[in-house]
Structure 1
Amino acid sequence: MTDTAAQPVDAQHTFGQKRARAIYDLGHSTIFSARSDARFAYCTYVPPQLDLATNPPELVVVMHGTGRAFTEYRNAFASFARWNNCIILCPLFPVGVNGDGNRDGFKQLREGEIRYDDILLDMVAEVGEKFGCTFPRFALFGYSGGGQFANRFCLLHPTRLWAVSIGAPGSVTLLDPSQDWWVGTRDMHQRFGTTLDLDALRALPVHMIVGKADIETWEITHKEGGKFFMPGANDAGKTRPERLQSLRHSFEQAGVQVHFDILDNVPHNGQACVEPVQDFFAQVLRQMRQPGSV
């Protein structure tokens, strides 16, 4: 015998679930704690018509800089997500998670016992499970401090990416086996348990971008006794454009092709760099989605 009294309650519950998903999960999401470590969080942009799409979406991760403007970057990529059938994931790695006021730990990928690359990879898995997707590879863009993160993440995990865009990092990790991390890669295995996979890096579409007027040095000059000072810390150049050019040359000397953008009359402004990054990702997506592409 059917319990007719329960049907309206069930229908109301189902409606509530769908309404909550539409408000908090689809489109511009609310902010979620990461399941692997609640000290960290993320927001997303998910195309509202995701369930009607004929093809599964791709994932784009946008990594904030020192200012933690993660929702602003999410909003800036919303139209790109709708037009290109992508989900946007923007992590938040707060200042001072160890109670010491450190603003820069995430840029180095490791802060004490925290591995920020592993936190991000679990966020990727969490978002995939939430929307019934698998993301064995994703695109990564980071600007300023996020550019440092993107630079180093692609060295450790090139096989997890379908594209990377490195924007205006204040410090760079070169493909230099003669110098220790973070300046070079000599002791990468001892620090992170992985070796540099040059073949995978050579197969990765790499974009680098910086403003030509991004020439202030007060925040990026390493001084002896400083938190990240080490031999060679300033050798890549004085300014962000000079340091990114050094990173480009380092990649190209190792056989890694780089699409390089230097924007006239642009100072240190991540939002001014978003459109060229999106153009680069869209081009890679078109190639990936061609019939017969791997």
Structure 2
Amino acid sequence: MIRVEDLPAAHPGRRLLTGRTPFFAAPTEPRCSYCAYVPRTWTPEARMPVLVAVHGTGRNVGALREGLIPFADRHDVIVVTPLFPAGIDDPDDVHNYKTLDAFGIRFDLVLLEILDQVRERWNARVDTVMLCGHSGGGQFAHRFLYLHPERVEAVAVSAPGSVTVLDPTRAWPDGTADTRDRFGSTVDPAAIARVPALLTIGADDDGRADLAAMGEPGRSRPAELARLATSLREHGAAVRTAEVPGVGHSAAGTQPSITAFFDDLLTG
């Protein structure tokens, strides 16, 4: 794999591998992929930090990356946007990545392998990363935090339709009772509590009709987010919440609250 620092400054590969990059196949699971935005100020010595932004069910990765470019340029941060495609081994499946494992794929490990490649190609700082996700991406983000808290510097969760609470009596994905058998690791609430968290949602994002249509009658996105906040706080986590006025179920609508959260992290 070519490292950007190995290319001469005038090489066209430098232009291809900074700014908006192409999509790259994930190292050991080529059905998954990722693209990045790398600020043009990139140098190998900078060891830029990384923000991972995880798409929702619609998988609108391009718009997700585009909306984060001003934040990336403001703070010299590399934005990594993985793509976990729909239809893997089931042409109608759109949910595969949300609970981290499906069809024999560990989507959390796919992301860790992507980050290894980001470290190698751009000499990026990926030991810990900022992590955010909207809707299905919010489901992925908080569950990834549960299994890999040591890799997350801060997490922002936007409008998930279902959540996992820190309950060792309930099976995954409702709780954390069987993570040792399922993932080979035990969830550590104390480690999770050390990670700053933002939980955000649009004020007009009820979601009851959507969730009922998907077989979850009686649930709403605000109630799910509140359950997650309560669970995290009961275990000592510092949780910030943000309800965005006039916004429905919109990744772009909650993105300003997410970037403000990370702004505070990087400037405080």
Q: TM-score, normalised by structure 2?
A: 0.92
Q: Unpaired segments of 5 or more residues in structure 2?
A: 1-6
The reply on whether 1:217 has 2:217 as its aligned counterpart is no
The reply on whether 1:63 has 2:44 as its aligned counterpart is no
4+ runs of 1 displaced by more than 6 Å?
14-17
The 2-side partners of 1:269 and 1:285 are apart by 25
1:112 corresponds to: 103
Q: 2:259 aligns with which of 278, 285, 292?
A: 278
1:7 corresponds to: none
Which deviates further from its counterpart, 276-285 or 138-147?
Answer: 276-285
The 2-side partners of 1:120 and 1:148 are apart by 15
The offset of 1:128, in angstroms, is: 1.1
Distance 1:178 1:138, change over 3 A: same
- Asked if the contact 1:125/1:134 (under 8 Å) is kept, the reply is no
1:194 corresponds to: 185
Q: Indicate the SS of the match to 2:25.
A: strand
2:4 corresponds to: none
The 1-side partners of 2:220 and 2:248 are apart by 11
The 1-side partners of 2:49 and 2:99 are apart by 26
2:245 corresponds to: 264
The 2-side partners of 1:244 and 1:15 are apart by 48
Code of the aligned partner of 1:285: L
Q: 1:28 aligns with which of 20, 32, 37?
A: 20
Aligned residues: 262
1:174 corresponds to: 165
The offset of 1:180, in angstroms, is: 1.1
The 2-side partners of 1:113 and 1:84 are apart by 37
Q: 2:11 aligns with which of 2, 18, 23?
A: 18
**Residues 131-210 of structure 1 correspond to what in structure 2 (within 5 A)?**
131-210=122-201
The reply on whether 1:101 has 2:88 as its aligned counterpart is no
The offset of 1:222, in angstroms, is: 7.8
The 1-side partners of 2:102 and 2:210 are apart by 20
The 1-side partners of 2:147 and 2:211 are apart by 23
The offset of 1:56, in angstroms, is: 2.4
The offset of 1:78, in angstroms, is: 0.7
Distance 1:107 1:44, change over 3 A: same
If you compute each CA radius of gyration, which structure gives the higher value, 1 or 2? 1
Q: 1:87 aligns with which of 62, 78, 89?
A: 78
The 2-side partners of 1:35 and 1:121 are apart by 10
Distance 1:17 1:30, change over 3 A: farther
- Asked if the contact 2:47/2:123 (under 8 Å) is kept, the reply is no
The offset of 1:198, in angstroms, is: 1.8
2:114 corresponds to: 123
Q: CA RMSD in A?
A: 1.9
Q: Indicate the SS of the match to 1:97.
A: coil
The offset of 1:244, in angstroms, is: 0.2
Q: Indicate the SS of the match to 1:91.
A: strand
Q: TM-score, normalised by structure 1?
A: 0.84
Q: Unpaired segments of 5 or more residues in structure 1?
A: 1-13, 227-232, 288-294
The 2-side partners of 1:162 and 1:238 are apart by 30
Distance 1:15 1:155, change over 3 A: closer
Identity over aligned pairs, percent? 33
The offset of 1:107, in angstroms, is: 0.3
The reply on whether 1:44 has 2:36 as its aligned counterpart is yes
